[in-house]
Amino acid sequence: MKQVNVLFFLLGMILLTGCRQTDPDGIYYPFKNHVWQRFNILKFEIPVKQSDKPYTVVFFARHNAEFPYKSLDFNMVMNTPSGEERIREFQLLIRDKDDAFLGDCELEICETTLVLKKDLSINKDGMLMVELENLIPRMETPGLLGVGIRLQGK
């Protein structure tokens, strides 16, 4: 019976970590059916090391032509390894005044970026924790392939 519980625990952990993709560009959460559910709060755990050089934390969103809004509104809560907490609402502009997509578009997929924090000093090794909450007042935000976080200046 104990082996069955361990097996289910391991299977659960594999499924949970399978929803997040880590690559050299950062951590990326792809959305099933290209939809960010309103109350699906995303949690990023990014390993960081103490550094004399500051980091820049960059948010990126990949979307297609089905994204219906001019912007993607979200709330961010960031906690550094030393215990500092930063909370801020953001508006990532997706379309310009003429309704054309901003950002880098290739074929039918666009990627738009936004700096969440410039000159972030890390004075202790550990995890940089970032939580993102979708603030668009609809249950589903269609047209989003996924969102992610990149650290620059490591």
| pLDDT recorded at residue 4 | 41
Percentage of the chain beyond pLDDT 70 is 83
Please give the single-letter amino acid code of residue 114: L
The mean per-residue pLDDT over the stretch 46-56 comes to 92
pTM value? 0.80
Distances (CA, A) of 49 to 12, 20, 87: 29, 22, 22
Beta strands in the chain (DSSP E): 21-23, 26-30, 35-37, 42-48, 55-63, 71-79, 85-93, 104-106, 109-120, 126-134, 140-142, 144-152
When the pLDDT of each residue in the chain is averaged and rounded to a whole number, the result is 86
Evaluate whether 48 touches 127 at the Cβ level (below 8 Å): yes
Percentage of the chain beyond pLDDT 90 is 77
d(CA 8, CA 150): 32
Q: Which domains does the chain have, with CATH numbers?
A: 23-152 (2.60.120)
At 10, is the pLDDT very low, low, confident or very high (cuts 50, 70, 90)?
very low
The mean per-residue pLDDT over the stretch 117-142 comes to 94
d(CA 86, CA 77): 6
Per DSSP, what are the bridge partners of residue 41?
none
**pLDDT at position 125 over 90:** yes
Three-state DSSP at 16 gives helix
The mean per-residue pLDDT over the stretch 77-85 comes to 95
At 25, is the pLDDT very low, low, confident or very high (cuts 50, 70, 90)?
low
Give the model confidence (pLDDT) of 92-120 as tens digits: 999 999 999 998 999 889 999 999 999 99
Token duo for residue 50:
């103490």
| pLDDT recorded at residue 153 | 79
